[in-house]
């Protein structure tokens, strides 16, 4: 007899020859395949409790994985040696993860849960036409002027003060020391900074620095799930993700901590076990008839 639920480590090859490491959560007879694309600075292990719950409760094959030179996918070299850029994570690595699931579960509906960075680049992916549903959690085109005034001093310091100074000095962003949870390659930080300090995020570079996204193929159902107390990508900012997917069918599912009996969720808390009250709101659009 096969087990009811298994976990399997997998290796994912990217279009440019890199290898990513992920974990596949598998029920005995999955009815859908789900890719969990993480946010900047959030390793795959952060999503494990949610992924297992989603797999067990919704009978889904769920992939979590780390981007190149980060988390499980780090090759052991010092972070300062990494040449990774944010667009490598958003275009090449996310596309590889999606294609891996599209090939392995070719007979199942293919869906995406994108946290922050994880829902911003979907139209660049080779198999975007296979996606039928997306849930974008705390995601949208971040722009520094649109953050709440209360956090503006931290935003200015991150993009124009301590952030660039520390990255220049050390050759990587010391996220652990700066209270961000994880260190990041310098190329990821600098490109992230570029995109978040100009209007339009990556859109001005479509067909230039980045490939032309396949907007016509991105015809999925997109549930935009902003978090009410998120100061990094507030709900008003998150709603602007619609400009990246003009052919998508978009609805909103606000995650409001007060309505769920939670003290706070913020930008990074929706996938934590202590905030599991958020999980049905994320899962419901994936499993809806």
Task: Report the 10 Å Cβ neighbour count for 12.
Answer: 20
- Please say if the pLDDT value at position 1 is more than 90: no
What CA–CA distance (Å, rounded) separates 267 from 40? 11
Give the confidence band of 3 by pLDDT, cuts at 50, 70, 90.
low
pLDDT band at 206 (very low <50, low <70, confident <90, very high): very high
pLDDT at 44 over 50: yes
Q: What is the dihedral of CA 240, 242, 244, 249, to 10 degrees?
A: 170
How much is the pTM? 0.97
Residue 4 has pLDDT above 80, yes or no: no
pLDDT digits (tens, 9 = 90+) for 99-157: 999 999 999 999 999 999 999 999 999 999 999 999 999 999 999 999 999 999 999 99
Res. 62 pLDDT band, cuts 50 70 90: very high
- Which pLDDT belongs to residue 288? 74
For residue 20, the tally of other CB atoms under 10 A from its CB is 25
Q: In the predicted model, what is the mean pLDDT of the chain?
A: 96
Give me the half-sphere count of Cα atoms (radius 13 Å) on the Cβ side of residue 277.
Answer: 15
* Structure token digits, residue 187: 């190329």
User: pLDDT category, 183, cuts 50, 70, 90?
Assistant: very high
- Strand 32-37 and strand 60-65: the pairing is parallel
Instruction: Give the pLDDT of residue 165.
Output: 97
As given in the structure block, the two tokens for residue 195 are 């995109």
Domains and CATH numbers, the chain: 5-142+212-287 (3.40.50.1820)
Phi then psi for residue 157, to 5 deg, are -65, -35
Give Cα separations from 44 to 20, 60, 192 (angstroms): 11, 17, 19
Alpha-carbon distance of 217 to 220, in angstroms, equals 8
Spatial contact of 136 and 240, defined as CB atoms under 8 Å apart: no
- Which residues, including other chains, have CB under 8 Å from residue 116's CB and lie 6 or more apart? 38, 39, 40, 42, 137, 138, 139, 232, 233, 267
pLDDT tens digit sequence for 229-286: 999 999 999 999 999 999 999 999 999 999 999 999 999 999 999 999 999 999 999 9
Please determine, for residue 27, whether its predicted confidence score (pLDDT) is greater than 70: yes
**Among 221, 218, 252, 55, CA closest to 134:** 221
């Amino acid at each position: 007899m096969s087990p009811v639920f298994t976990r399997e480590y997998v290796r994912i090859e990217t279009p440019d020859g890199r290898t990513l490491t992920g974990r596949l959560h598998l029920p005995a007879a999955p009815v859908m395949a789900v890719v969990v694309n993480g946010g900047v600075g959030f390793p795959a292990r952060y999503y494990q409790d949610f992924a297992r719950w989603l797999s067990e409760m919704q009978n889904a094959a769920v992939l979590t994985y780390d981007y190149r030179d980060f988390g499980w996918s780090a090759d052991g070299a010092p972070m300062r040696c990494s040449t990774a850029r944010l667009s490598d994570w958003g275009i090449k690595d996310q596309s590889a993860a999606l294609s891996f699931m599209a090939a392995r579960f070719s007979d199942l509906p293919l869906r995406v849960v994108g946290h922050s960075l994880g829902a911003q680049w979907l139209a660049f992916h080779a198999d975007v036409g296979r996606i039928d549903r997306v849930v974008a959690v705390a995601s949208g085109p971040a722009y520094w002027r649109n953050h709440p005034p209360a956090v503006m001093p931290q935003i200015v310091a991150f993009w124009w003060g301590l952030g660039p100074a520390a990255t220049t000095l050390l050759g990587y962003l010391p996220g652990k020391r700066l209270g961000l949870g994880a260190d990041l390659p310098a190329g990821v930080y600098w490109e992230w900074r570029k995109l978040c300090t100009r209007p339009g995020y990556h859109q001005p570079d479509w067909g230039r620095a980045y490939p032309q996204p396949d907007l016509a193929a991105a015809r999925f159902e997109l549930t935009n799930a902003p978090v009410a107390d998120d100061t990094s990508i507030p709900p008003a900012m998150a709603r602007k993700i619609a400009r990246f997917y003009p052919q998508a069918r978009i609805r909103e599912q606000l995650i409001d901590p007060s309505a769920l009996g939670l003290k706070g969720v913020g930008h990074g808390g929706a996938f934590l076990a202590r905030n599991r009250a958020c999980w049905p709101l994320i899962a419901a659009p994936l499993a809806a008839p």
